[in-house]
Amino acid sequence: MTLQEIAKLVDGNILGKAEITITGVTNLDNATASDISFAVEPHISQGETCNAGAVIIPDNVEQYGKPAIRVANPRAAFTKLLELFTPPLKIKREVHSTVVIGENVTIGNNVAIMPYVVIADDAIVGDNVILYPHTYVGQNATIAEDSVIYPNVTIREYCRVGKRVIIHSGTVIGSDGFGFITEQGKHSKVPQVGNVVLEDDVEIGANVGIDRATTGSTIIKQGTKVDNLVHLAHNVVIGENGLICSQTGIAGSTKVGNNVTFAGQCGSVGHINIGDNCVFVARSAPIGNVPAGSYYGGFPARPHKEWLRNEAAANKAVELVKKVRDLEKRLAQLENKN
């Protein structure tokens, strides 16, 4: 494809030679003369000196040291090209002969159900669903249209997976919540008879654990994306369009609003309410209700500025100890004089 043709596809305008030929799409570090890459600040000048044949850049760049396409959103344009240039995997639309299907199971059209998938009684698999090998779909579970479940995923009984959901390998949907009654030091299991509901357009990373509710549902609302190794406990509700980054853990019954971000390795106590549009920076963990629109850091999580200011002051503790010791001496001298 010529740079001219690519520029049309991404609705951009060209700076430099339009006739060069592009055969691949990759990042600045790996790009060769036949690749196109993209650069946004602070990497725009690195784009000029890299080996790429051309670079997609923001439309406010006036001059550039190599052929470029200027667009409003370079990352979005790059994403479009990635989809275009990447050869799709070969997916056979069939139910493989080794798939074990229970009684009264409903399977939609145009599905790809790969070797050794097991689908238990009364489950429903919608149209166009792709189930990779070794996936388990429990009794009465449902997976709606266009969802993709990668290998070695477990979806336990009665759980509901929405449309266009992606679940990565090793993830467990609907394991029992961690609920016990303790009498005389011994723990008896509280039956966990609820389920998990993943709404439409949810994506769940690898080796995540989402526990079924004790009663009712643990719910991940539409458009929310969950990263690897996250723990979501029983009866948690995560609102729409959230981002829950890797290794975060949310304890039981906590309700999280819409458009909330937890950065990596965050936590939360159970039984609290977190409002819409909150952001928790890496490793923070709220221990009480959080109002909508909060930008929080630290453990216990508090307003980010306050946390940073306090951390900065606390990091002067060595100096502070010395100063106080010095003040004590000088004050004692003065007191003696007086």
Residue 234 is among the residues annotated as catalytic for this protein: yes
* Contacting range for a copy of itself; rule: CB under 8 A; set: 2-10, 49-57, 59-67, 174-182: 174-182
Distance of CA 50 to the CA centre of its chain: 30
Question: Is 42:28 a contact under the CB 8 Å cutoff?
Answer: no
Would you count residue 296 as binding a copy of itself (CB under 8 A)?
Answer: no
Choosing from 43, 234, 271, 304, the catalytic residue is 234
Residues 152 and 114: their CA atoms lie apart, in Å, by 11
63 or 91: CB nearest a copy of itself: 91
**Positions 2 through 61 that interact with a copy of itself (CB under 8 A):** 25-27, 29-30
| Count of alpha carbons within 13 angstroms of residue 28, beta-carbon side | 17
Q: Determine which residue in the list 64, 211, 280, 296 makes contact with a copy of itself, applying CB under 8 A.
A: 211
Residues 111 and 94: their CA atoms lie apart, in Å, by 6
Would you count residue 335 as binding a copy of itself (CB under 8 A)?
Answer: yes
**Positions 110 through 169 that interact with a copy of itself (CB under 8 A):** 114-116, 118, 121, 132-134, 136, 139, 150-154, 156-157, 166, 168-169
* Contacting range for a copy of itself; rule: CB under 8 A; set: 3-11, 14-22, 59-67, 328-336: 328-336
Q: Cβ 95 to a copy of itself, closest distance in Å? A: 14
Q: Determine which residue in the list 128, 147, 214, 218 makes contact with a copy of itself, applying CB under 8 A.
A: 214
Q: Mark 238-257 with x for binding to a copy of itself (rule: CB under 8 A) and - for no binding.
A: ---x-x-xxx-x-x------
| Count of alpha carbons within 13 angstroms of residue 273, beta-carbon side | 4
Q: Cβ 215 to a copy of itself, closest distance in Å? A: 4
Enumerate the β-bridge partners of residue 131: 113, 149
Residues 204 and 159: their CA atoms lie apart, in Å, by 14
63 or 337: CB nearest a copy of itself: 337
Q: Determine which residue in the list 2, 34, 265, 273 makes contact with a copy of itself, applying CB under 8 A.
A: 265
Question: Is 295:304 a contact under the CB 8 Å cutoff?
Answer: yes
19 or 83: CB nearest a copy of itself: 83
* Contacting range for a copy of itself; rule: CB under 8 A; set: 6-14, 56-64, 78-86, 105-113: 78-86
Q: Which residues are catalytic?
A: 234
